[in-house]
Amino acid sequence: MHVLIINGSPRIKKFSNTDMILKEFTKGMCENGDTFHLYEISDKDNWDLIRKAYDESDNILIALPLYVECIPGLLMEFLETLTPKTGNAKMSFILQSGFSEGVQLRCGEAYLEKLAGYLGCTYGGTLVKGGNFEIRFLNDENRSKATSPYAEMGREFSANGNFNSDKCKAFTGPEILPAPVRLLVGFFFKTAVRKSFEKDAASLGCERPLDYRPYT
Ligand SMILES: Cc1cc2nc3c(=O)[nH]c(=O)nc-3n(C[C@H](O)[C@H](O)[C@H](O)COP(=O)(O)O)c2cc1C
């Protein structure tokens, strides 16, 4: 099969966690000869090309990060320019996010199911996975650890043509972290994770503390 893949992140390719996830996902997907063409929504100069590819494709996969509980505004702006399809096209999604609990992504997932219908496509399911905040800040070894499991999901997608298998559903992990784990996460957020966020922020040029409140 040939798949049109659209990275719906507003972040440019070089910095997009979605793009790093797609690298591994497509490795798995293409092992048995499937092919794909990948476009980035962040590249506004290419929107005419992406629209043309959408018009000509019957197997569309949109990979997107969760932004403020739902889909990024830039992707929405693009989607509003599309004409709903009339043939037998299928639309599937990879929805990934920062927070790790599955429950954080369910509202976005419910919207994506509707979105496929709004665009005249049958719904090929959504691969739902959180815990991805740090991907772009990791060293090569740890980034590979974080993203390589997506190769297996690429194989599943290639074999089934959708994300409805039990393996894909289990990939989400826990819906809600158990109470002791939440306590531990809370503790680590105040200590180790906070340090790591401070380091990430400094690497982006941030000179003030993360809890700096200039307006209070
Ligand atoms: C403006 C903004 C809003 C976000 N909102 C959420 C959110 O509501 N829930 C969540 O779990 N992660 C949220 N995130 C984290 C992203 O989903 C996560 O870092 C993702 O891996 C980014 O992918 P990208 O680099 O391809 O854009 C947000 C990130 C940004 C920048």
Helices (H), the chain: 17-29, 47-56, 73-79, 106-118, 140-147, 149-160, 166-170, 179-190, 192-203
Closest ligand 1 atom, residue 18 Cα: 26
Expressed in angstroms and rounded, the spacing between residue 54 Cα and the centre of ligand 1 is 25
Task: pLDDT tens for the chain, 216 residues: list them.
Answer: 999 999 999 999 999 999 999 999 999 999 999 999 999 999 999 999 999 999 999 999 999 999 999 999 999 999 999 999 999 999 999 999 999 999 999 999 999 999 999 999 999 999 999 999 999 999 999 999 999 999 999 999 999 999 999 999 999 999 999 999 888 888 888 888 888 889 999 999 999 998 899 998
What are the boundaries of each domain within the chain?
2-170, 177-216
Expressed in angstroms and rounded, the spacing between residue 130 Cα and the centre of ligand 1 is 9
* CATH number for the domain whose boundaries are 2-170: 3.40.50.360
User: How buried is residue 46: exposed, middle or buried, by Cβ count under 10 Å (0-12/13-18/19+)?
Assistant: middle
Query: Is any atom of ligand 1 closer than 6 Å to the C-beta of 42?
Result: no
pLDDT of residue 66: 98
pLDDT of residue 193: 84
pLDDT of residue 75: 98
Query: Is any atom of ligand 1 closer than 6 Å to the C-beta of 9?
Result: yes
What is the number of alpha carbons within 13 Å of residue 7 lying toward its C-beta? 26
Expressed in angstroms and rounded, the spacing between residue 45 Cα and the centre of ligand 1 is 23
pLDDT of residue 191: 85
Q: Of the residues 133, 135, 147, 196, which should be mutated to test ligand 1's pocket, given the most ligand atoms within 8 Å of the CB? A: 133
pLDDT of residue 216: 86
pLDDT of residue 190: 82
Distance CA(137)–CA(51), nearest Å, equals: 32
